[in-house]
Amino acid sequence: MTHLFRRTAYKWAGLALTLLIFAAAFAASLAFGQTQIKPGTVWEALFRYDASVQEHVIITTSRLSRALIAAVIGASLAIAGALLQALTKNQLASPSIFGINSGAIFFIVAAAAFFSVSSLIQYMWIAFAGAAAAALMVYALGSTGRGGMSPMKFVLAGAAISALFVSLTQGVLVTSEQSLQSVLFWLAGSVAGRTVEMLLPILPFMAGGWIAAFLLGHSVNILTSGEEVAKGLGQKTLWVKTAMIAVIVLLAGGSVAVGGSIGFVGLVIPHIARGLVGIDYRWIIPYCALLGGSLLLLADVAARFVIMPQEMPIGVMTALIGTPFFIYIARRRSGRI
Partner 1 sequence: MSNDIQHKHFTRSEMVSELLRKKALTVIFTLILLSAILFIAGLSAGSTVLNPLDVVKHLTGAGSGEHNFVIHTLRLPRMLLAMLAGAALGVAGLIMQGVVRNPLGSPDIIGVTGGASFAAVFFLTRLAGSVSIKWLPIAAIVGAAAVSALIYALAWRKGVTPVRLVLVGIGLSACTGALTTMMIVLNDEYSTTRAYLWMTGSVYGAKWSDVYSLLPWVALLVPLSLLFAKSANVLETGDETAAGLGVRIQLHRIGMLTISVALAGAAVAFAGGIGFVGLIAPHIARKLVGRAFGYLVPVSALIGSMMVALADVVARTAFLPLDIPAGVFVSGIGAPFFIYLLYRSRHQ
Backbone φ/ψ region at 79: left (φ over 0), alpha (ψ -120 to 50), beta: alpha
Please count the residues of the chain: 337
SS3 percent helix, strand, coil of the chain, rounded to 5, is 75, 0, 25
Q: Which of 92, 109, 220, 295 binds partner 1 (CB under 8 A)?
A: 92
Asked if 149 is part of the footprint of partner 1 (rule: CB under 8 A), the reply reads no
Asked if 117 is part of the footprint of partner 1 (rule: CB under 8 A), the reply reads no
Q: Which of 144, 182, 195, 225 binds partner 1 (CB under 8 A)?
A: 144
Asked if 136 is part of the footprint of partner 1 (rule: CB under 8 A), the reply reads no
Query: Which residues have a Cβ under 8 Å from the Cβ of 84 and sit 6 or more positions away?
Result: 90, 93, 94, 95, 98, 248, 266
Least Cβ distance, residue 252 to partner 1 (angstroms): 15
Asked if 242 is part of the footprint of partner 1 (rule: CB under 8 A), the reply reads no
Asked if 232 is part of the footprint of partner 1 (rule: CB under 8 A), the reply reads no
Q: Are 287 and 79 in contact (CB under 8 A)?
A: no
Asked if 135 is part of the footprint of partner 1 (rule: CB under 8 A), the reply reads no
Query: Which residues have a Cβ under 8 Å from the Cβ of 66 and sit 6 or more positions away?
Result: 29, 191, 192, 194, 300
Q: Which of 37, 75, 131, 137 binds partner 1 (CB under 8 A)?
A: 137
Smaller CB separation from partner 1, 17 or 188: 188
Indicate the SS3 state at residue 278. Answer: coil
Residues of the shown chain interacting with partner 1 in the complex, contacts defined by CB under 8 A? 92, 96-97, 137, 141, 144-146, 152-153, 155-157, 159-160, 163-164, 166-168, 170-171, 173-175, 177, 180-181, 184-185, 187-188, 263-264, 307, 310, 312-313, 315-316, 319-320, 322-323, 326-327, 330-331, 334, 337
